[in-house]
Amino acid sequence: MTNLTPVLSGLGKRLGVMALTMLTVSLLVFLVLEVNVDDVAVKVLGQFSTPDQRHAWLLQNGYFDPLPIRYARWLWGFVTGNWGLSTYYHADVRELILPRLAATGVLMGATLAVTVPVALGLGILAGMRQGSSVDRGVSVLAIITTSIPEFASAVFLSAIFVFGLGWLPGVSTLSGGVTIKELTLPVTVLTLSSAGYIARMTRASMVEAMASPYVRTARLKGASTARIVFAHALRNALGAPVTVIMLQIPWLLSGVIVVEVFFAYPGFGTLLYQASVNSDIYLIEACAMIGVVAVVVSQLISDLINTWLNPRLVRAIQKAALQDPTASVEATAG
Amino acid sequence: MKHFRRPTVLIGGGIVGFWVLVALFAPYLAPFDPLKSLTPLAPPGTPAPGGGTFWLGADLLGRDILSRVIYGARPVVALSTLATLTAYAVGVSAGLLAGYYGRWIDTGLSFLANVILSFPVLVLYIVVIVALGPSPLNVVIAVTFASAPAVFRIVRTIAADLKQRDFIAAAVIQGESAWRILFIEILPNATGPLTVDFCLRLGYTTIVIGALGFLGLGLPPPAPDWGGMVNEGRALAFAFPHLVIFPCLAISSLVLGLSLLADGLNEARDAQSRGS
Amino acid sequence: MSSQPPIPEPPILSVKSLSVALPVGADRPFAIHDISLDLRPAEILCIVGESGSGKSILSSTLMGALPRGLSIHSGGLTLGDIDLTAQSEGAWRTIRGRRVAMIPQEPMAALNPSAKVGRQIEEVFAIHGDLTPKARRAEALRLIQEMHLPDPERIAASYPHQLSGGQCQRICIAMALALKPDVLIADEPTTALDVTSQAQVLKLICELRDVHRQAVLFITHDLGVVADIADRIAVMEKGSLVEVGTADEILKRPTQPYTKALIAAVPSFEPKLRAPVPNTKPGHCLEVEGLAKTYGRTRALKPANLTVERATTLAVVGESGSGKSTLARLLVRLIEPSDGAALVNGHDLARLRGTALRQARRRIQMIFQDPFGSLNPRRSVGATVARAAELAGCTRQEAQARAKALLERVGLSATAYARRPAAFSGGQRQRVGIARALAMRPDVLIADESVSALDVSVQAQVLNLLRELQLELGLTIVFITHDLRVAAQISDRVAVMRSGEIVELADTASVILNPQHAYTRALIAAAPGRGAI
């Protein structure tokens, strides 16, 4: 790349939009959960608190101040790492979240490490041999696996491997640290729910690339199928799957909640679940914000990878950033 | 039309049709009252006191599982459909406006859509349901809120594409009103991909509603709810697998039917545009 | 250029009674049927045909790259001493690129968008030869230089989207030429290029024949190009060979009726004398004063001034980027002007709003270039035309009647009303577009490249229809085109545009026969086949 300045300015614009998005998200979360002060008081003090107790508590914690001031205070708290106290666990929210986040990170990382190669591999294979039995097989497998909700596949797999064969533990509480045995079922369930979609998108992208004029040119130059796939089709076909993989991260974060609860895995998901069951407001707020940060960062990474893969997109991003700051690569890539 | 008689469409449509009928005619199909406690933890095939058989067994409170599965189809079908329809109403209108007018409307609406799409779906639901309380209406609201931006994006892209075509330019030059251009010129040309997306989205919504039930955030007990049934029976699933297997099969088959239908419709559309 | 004496060498490519079968259920049994022709070294053989003639299938067969479902049914195909009908896919891979090479129709799409063009040229050597990487690079640079591209190093390091269409095509030619193949197949290589780029590429191809003794099979629908470069010509129609012979024989003394009709349909460069339309109120129908459009920092249209007399035709000629499309869109107020005014019988559309605008819009209507995109695929053509009439103030009944009458007037049958666009050919769809435009009874008709996407015989019919309608209705027409021949035949005056401004504006005869501006002269010089057809 010869001139980096336009790329960097495009990146700068993108980061600005990210910040604005996070700000709007924070506003939404705040409004949804804290706008009704009575509700907040009930949730924090419990159902059996008296109106007087609630009133006193609200006054003491500044809940009768005007809304913008409360929001600013709340936001400042987040930015400085003061995330409040969990009403259920009676502990600092930040100290609760961080180790759980690490555990979920391990789970997500392991899932991606398994899902991405499997899904990309199957998708590329199916796309190369469009219409063959491999292709149809991959498509059917993909449809079936993505149709089974996470808790259902967890049930089915447990029935076979935990109750039936007894090979794997029924819960993954990580009481002895992280082990492969305890990770197996959760990772498998998550892989089953997301690999199918990625494989199909990859297949579609490969089919399109293999049918394109430049692949025809390569064929007419006498190139073998291997050369066509690896030197021509793949580089141009991988843009869409990379976007799709990154877009699966929000989906995975949802699935992770169900899987963690099912297998009692001590991660971010079970924490959020407990918080929702107990109406633990401050914990929920923090978890929501973190969830959004994860998604937004993954979108940024997806943009960067796409830029590296396709030089034409560099120009498109610059152009898009100049005209419309919310245009992301997925939109321009169609 | 002949393209639509493919096996995927027929099988998928058949499965979906089956569950819709089950949901509609639940009172006539269920052998027992889904809320009545009889013989707790009866295995499948046990005869019930006072006549009849627990074909699929009874749950830990003694309620017939077959009846609960049949009745459980109702909230799933009703809520998924209602939520997806409202998401479509919002998403299509917003998407058409953003795609056609572009500029500030597009920037603003797209930004809003991206903000909502930044939430992992279940996190969004949890936030909304904790704030509003669990009830069928709030489930619909939460699902609509989460699905509308995705529909918006799809419609926006289609509208922006179609806007470039000459027949839209012709309509503008003839002085056609904007709303007629949006709904009579543009929208009918988007029905193909939108129908496919509708089926898929019904499937996703069904999965999420099931997950909400599983997490105990869906319908309050004792209402029969497939996800909720799995949640209730989980602890005893080792000894009594019938508690959880049947609701899982039910929800998986419904979503499978929707996925097959979507896939089949998509292929049929491709074949139609290629063949004729 | 076709005055070379026929070289009595043995043919390098020999096609004998070749037939390629279509899959069951197609509209005819054979894609190409009983084709026989020869190609000799240092010769350009042009295959001419309109859409559906089978010329592209022929080129695919010669590369062993038939689409799925098609197969060689019978006949012989030999390249030198190799029987091309009996080669395995593996054998074909050694033949393609080395003995037979193809120059594609859309050069930018034909190059890998994420690889530098230098590497793509080197790939030919990587596949077929055993040169070292350093030698490959040197060869690639040498080839780029041979294509008369300046600064080969920079070009080799560029991606396709950083080059122009003409430059991409020269890269494709370099790739095809790399291993000095026996036969070069050029499948409509200049159709997607501007007329000046086209002239350069044609010159390059002639150089390949003259200097490198290349045998070239040149497939095209453009008889002007054929007249310029062909040594021999083969005419195809609906999969069969109509006639084959030397350029002189075919162009000057055609024997078959199809060939004669094809040549007659090509608009001549001789400006046609046009009689004025009777009963016209004298005066300007369209007046453009200082009309301009700027996008950010680009001036798409610099302030333009022109007038068009009532019931006459003005042709606006230019290459892509000249601003002619911008001008057309401004006239119908599809885009807003940055400055200036366009008055249709005294009314400036840009200054009006609401009901006044809607009424004024009826005075000026447009017909478009792409027959496939200009009609709503979900509506019957009758409904489309009737809606236009309704918007012009008719009641539902009146609109339907007017639509039926118009569809018949433009040459479609009465049953056309209820059918959807997919049921019609390109030429028929353009007629529907004309009916739709006329439904509003406009004073001015803007035709934006309306015949560019049509076969030449269909083009002639549509142009005749427009002339008839002009005489009947007293229409004022502004015809946007890149084709000087069309302009010469159908217009009273011509405006030549370049880079957003009008560089020459005069009556047709003056512009064509006695151009004043250097650019106009260059355009006319670059137009293929002048003087020969």
Q: Which CATH number is C296's domain given?
A: 3.40.50.300
pLDDT above 80 (res A316): no
Which of C408, C424, C441 is the last residue before a domain boundary? C441
At A326 the pLDDT is: 34
Partner-chain residue, chosen from B166, B175, B189, that has the shortest CB–CB distance to C368 = B166
Helix H or strand E encompassing C447:
strand C444-448
Q: Per the structure block, which two tokens stand in for C279?
A: 């009963």
d(Cα A319, Cα C223) in Å, to the nearest integer? 41
- Amino acid identity of residue C175, one-letter, is M
Partner-chain residue, chosen from B173, B185, B276, that has the shortest CB–CB distance to C332 = B173
Q: Per the structure block, which two tokens stand in for C381?
A: 């053509």
At A150 the pLDDT is: 92
Question: Virtual CA dihedral for A43, A44, A45, A49, nearest 10 degrees?
Answer: -20
Which of C243, C264, C285 is the last residue before a domain boundary? C264
Higher pLDDT, A231 or B169: B169
d(Cα C81, Cα C83) in Å, to the nearest integer? 7
pLDDT above 80 (res A80): yes
d(Cα B250, Cα B73) in Å, to the nearest integer? 8
At C9 the pLDDT is: 78
- At which residue do the structure tokens 């491709």 appear? B270
**DSSP one-letter code for B58:** B
**Residue count (chain A):** 334
Nearest to A199 by CA among A278, A276, A144, A150: A144
pLDDT above 70 (res B138): yes
A113 C-beta neighbours (distance < 10 Å), count: 12
At A256 the pLDDT is: 92
pLDDT per residue as tens digits for the range A194-205: 899 889 888 988
Q: Distance of CA C356 to CAs A174, B179, C338, C347, C438, Å?
A: 75, 19, 21, 10, 20
For testing contact with chain A, the best of C88, C95, C112 (most A CBs within 10 A): C112
pLDDT above 50 (res A334): no
* B40, B58 Cβ separation under 8 angstroms: yes
At C380 the pLDDT is: 93
pLDDT per residue as tens digits for the range C241-289: 999 999 999 999 999 999 999 999 998 888 888 888 888 888 899 999 9
Using a CB–CB cutoff of 8 Å, tell me whether B244 touches chain A. Answer: yes
Whether residues C201 and C324 fall in one domain: no
Tell me if C468 is assigned to some domain: yes
Helix (H, G, I), strand (E, B) or coil at C353: coil
- Angle (nearest 5°) at CA A321 between A319 and A322: 65
Q: Per the structure block, which two tokens stand in for A304?
A: 């960067």
Q: In chain A, which among 279-318 make CB contacts under 8 A with chain B?
A: 279, 281, 284, 287-288, 291-292, 294-296, 299
Confidence band (pLDDT; 50, 70, 90) for B122? confident
Q: What is the mean pLDDT of residues C289-294?
A: 92
Q: Per the structure block, which two tokens stand in for C478?
A: 């502004």
Confidence band (pLDDT; 50, 70, 90) for C324? very high
Q: What is the mean pLDDT of residues C214-219?
A: 94
Whether residues C451 and C333 fall in one domain: yes
At B120 the pLDDT is: 86
The pairing of beta strand C232-237 with beta strand C240-246: antiparallel
Q: Per the structure block, which two tokens stand in for B255?
A: 């979503």
- At which residue do the structure tokens 């022929």 appear? C58
Q: Order the strands of the C444-448 sheet from edge to edge.
A: C364-367, C444-448, C476-481, C313-317, C493-498, C501-507
d(Cα C419, Cα B218) in Å, to the nearest integer? 51
Whether residues C519 and C477 fall in one domain: yes
Q: In chain A, which among 250-279 make CB contacts under 8 A with chain C?
A: none
Q: With contacts defined as CB-CB under 8 Å, which chain A residues touch B119?
A: 25, 250, 288, 291-292, 295
Whether residues C35 and C143 fall in one domain: yes
Helix (H, G, I), strand (E, B) or coil at B174: coil
* A255, A150 Cβ separation under 8 angstroms: yes
Report chain A's mean pLDDT, rounded to a whole number: 82
Cβ contact, residue pair A220, C96, below 8 Å: yes
Which residues neighbour C58 within 8 Å (Cβ) at sequence distance 6 or greater?
C18, C32, C35, C47, C219, C236
Q: Per the structure block, which two tokens stand in for C211?
A: 């200097």
Nearest to A44 by CA among A9, A7, A12, A87: A87
Which of C441, C460, C480 is the last residue before a domain boundary? C441
Q: With contacts defined as CB-CB under 8 Å, which chain B residues touch C361?
A: 173-175
Q: What is the mean pLDDT of residues C12-28?
A: 88
- Nearest-Cα distance to chain A for B238, in Å, is 6
Partner-chain residue, chosen from B174, B185, B189, that has the shortest CB–CB distance to C361 = B174
d(Cα C135, Cα C131) in Å, to the nearest integer? 6
Nearest to C121 by CA among C87, C154, C144: C144
- At which residue do the structure tokens 């120059």 appear? C103
Tell me if C7 is assigned to some domain: no
Partner-chain residue, chosen from B107, B119, B227, that has the shortest CB–CB distance to A324 = B107
Q: Per the structure block, which two tokens stand in for C106?
A: 């859309």
Whether residues C218 and C98 fall in one domain: yes
Q: What is the mean pLDDT of residues C461-481?
A: 94
Whether residues C128 and C256 fall in one domain: yes
The lowest-confidence range among A263-277, B119-133, B257-271, C143-157 is B119-133
d(Cα A272, Cα A283) in Å, to the nearest integer? 7
At A244 the pLDDT is: 80
Whether residues C178 and C33 fall in one domain: yes
* C328, C446 Cβ separation under 8 angstroms: yes
Boundaries of domain holding C421: 370-441
Which residues neighbour A297 within 8 Å (Cβ) at sequence distance 6 or greater?
none
Q: Per the structure block, which two tokens stand in for C42?
A: 């240092």
Whether residues C125 and C202 fall in one domain: yes
pLDDT per residue as tens digits for the range C429-450: 999 999 999 999 999 999 999 9
Using a CB–CB cutoff of 8 Å, tell me whether B195 touches chain C. Answer: no
At C508 the pLDDT is: 92
Using a CB–CB cutoff of 8 Å, tell me whether A73 touches chain C. Answer: no
Q: Distance of CA C34 to CAs A165, C15, C72, Å?
A: 69, 9, 11
Q: Per the structure block, which two tokens stand in for B2?
A: 């002949």
pLDDT above 60 (res A320): no
Q: Per the structure block, which two tokens stand in for B114?
A: 């991206």
pLDDT per residue as tens digits for the range C82-132: 888 888 888 999 899 889 999 998 898 899 988 899 999 999 999 987 789
Tell me if C244 is assigned to some domain: yes
Whether residues C319 and C333 fall in one domain: yes
pLDDT above 60 (res A317): no
Using a CB–CB cutoff of 8 Å, tell me whether A71 touches chain B. Answer: no
Percent of chain C's residues with pLDDT above 70: 98
Nearest to C176 by CA among C225, C116, C137, C217: C217
Tell me if C358 is assigned to some domain: yes
Q: Distance of CA C526 to CAs B263, C1, C225, Å?
A: 52, 14, 11
Tell me if C4 is assigned to some domain: no
Higher pLDDT, A42 or C17: C17
Whether residues C112 and C188 fall in one domain: yes
Q: How many CB pairs below 8 A link A and C?
A: 75
Report chain C's mean pLDDT, rounded to a whole number: 90
**Subunits close to A (at least 3 CB pairs below 8 A):** B, C
- At which residue do the structure tokens 């209507």 appear? C365
Percent of chain B's residues with pLDDT above 70: 99
Q: What is the mean pLDDT of residues C317-334?
A: 91
Cβ contact, residue pair A220, C175, below 8 Å: no
Q: What is the mean pLDDT of residues B69-97?
A: 93
Tell me if C6 is assigned to some domain: no
Buried residues in C36-51 as b, exposed as e (16+ CB within 10 A): ebbbbbbbbbbbbbbe
d(Cα C429, Cα C374) in Å, to the nearest integer? 8
- Nearest-Cα distance to chain B for A163, in Å, is 6
At B55 the pLDDT is: 84
pLDDT above 80 (res C3): no
At A222 the pLDDT is: 87
Whether residues C301 and C402 fall in one domain: no
Using a CB–CB cutoff of 8 Å, tell me whether C95 touches chain A. Answer: yes
Confidence band (pLDDT; 50, 70, 90) for A3? low
- Angle (nearest 5°) at CA C148 between C145 and C151: 55
- At which residue do the structure tokens 């169900």 appear? A258
Helix H or strand E encompassing A289:
helix A281-309
pLDDT above 80 (res A324): no
pLDDT per residue as tens digits for the range A82-117: 788 887 788 888 888 888 889 999 999 999 999 999
Tell me if C72 is assigned to some domain: yes
At C447 the pLDDT is: 95
d(Cα A259, Cα B211) in Å, to the nearest integer? 10
- Angle (nearest 5°) at CA C406 between C403 and C409: 155
- Nearest-Cα distance to chain B for A324, in Å, is 7
Phi-psi region of B184 (alpha: psi -120 to 50; beta: other; left: phi over 0): alpha
Tell me if C67 is assigned to some domain: yes
Whether residues C336 and C199 fall in one domain: no
Tally of structural domains, chain C: 3
